[in-house]
Amino acid sequence: MLDAAQTVSTEDFRFPSGAGTLSARLYLPTVAPRVAVVIHGATGVPRDYYQHFARWLAEVQGMACLTYDYSDFGHSLNGSLKASRVKMADWALIDMPAARAEMRRRFPDAQQWSIGHSVGGMLGPIQPDIDQIDRMICVCSGPVTVSDHPWPYRALALLFWYGHAPLAVKALGYLPGKALGFGADLPASVYWQWRRWCTAPRNYLPEIGVTLPEALWAQSETPVDLFTFEDDDLVPPAAVWRLADLYGPHARRHLLSPGEFGLPGVGHIGAFARRNAAVWPRLIA
């Protein structure tokens, strides 16, 4: 369909990922795009949250932008959450490369950018198609552990990992994120792996980082930018810089203050909110 007010066309479709398919929305500019962007969302954040940023990329920057939901989440959920066996690692090793493959198929002559928010960037170093990414942008991404969180947020994190949340998952067979105030329901297998990573000293590395292709990032010329905000209590800068180390010595580190954009706060989720659009040009500069 064509949105006359925004002069951006959108297409809703599904694309293959492993044995299943994922639900996606493609934002297209009125001109042939030189850049094709895939937005890999944060845990529990649906694709529609990124719609304003994606539309801005298409309308103002002339970029094609794909938003999608990971397996068994959001619009990509097929069947019952209780029946799902998908893990967070599947999102990284199957879904993320599949989304980029779809954009390469549609726009073979465009530069291929990945913008990862939180887990969408945190799992970037283990991607199997690193050599086909022209630019990686990570926003509020890092292999965070409980000890990274400042107080009092650490108390909330401990409750989420050791208090009411695991009891609810055991009782219901899935994470009732909406009821718990998390914002989205998730498969139990995603929650348990996520919990295991966030309560371990090295997060996901011992489990799925054994064959981490760090050398590919370090030896390639692919630009990698990591952005963190001073008021992000969920993934503080120290965790983001550990991710920068995984991406290699050429990864560029950006510590941003909401005040420099005239904003009262951004935090972990807010970078892609329409109210914080002043941040967007900096993320892709």
Q: Give tens-digit pLDDT for 101-132.
A: 999 999 999 999 999 999 999 998 888 888 89
Q: Which residues are bridge partners to 138 per DSSP?
A: 116, 226
Q: So what's the pLDDT on residue 221?
A: 76
Q: So what's the pLDDT on residue 216?
A: 61
**Cα–Cα distance measured from residue 253 to residue 191, given in angstroms and rounded to the nearest whole number:** 29
Q: Which helix (H) or strand (E) holds 55?
A: helix 51-59
**Cα–Cα distance measured from residue 18 to residue 28, given in angstroms and rounded to the nearest whole number:** 26
Report residues of the chain scoring pLDDT below 50: 1-5, 215
Q: So what's the pLDDT on residue 212?
A: 53
- Kind of pairing between the strands at 64-68 and 20-28: antiparallel
The number of beta carbons lying within 10 Å of the beta carbon of residue 242 is 18
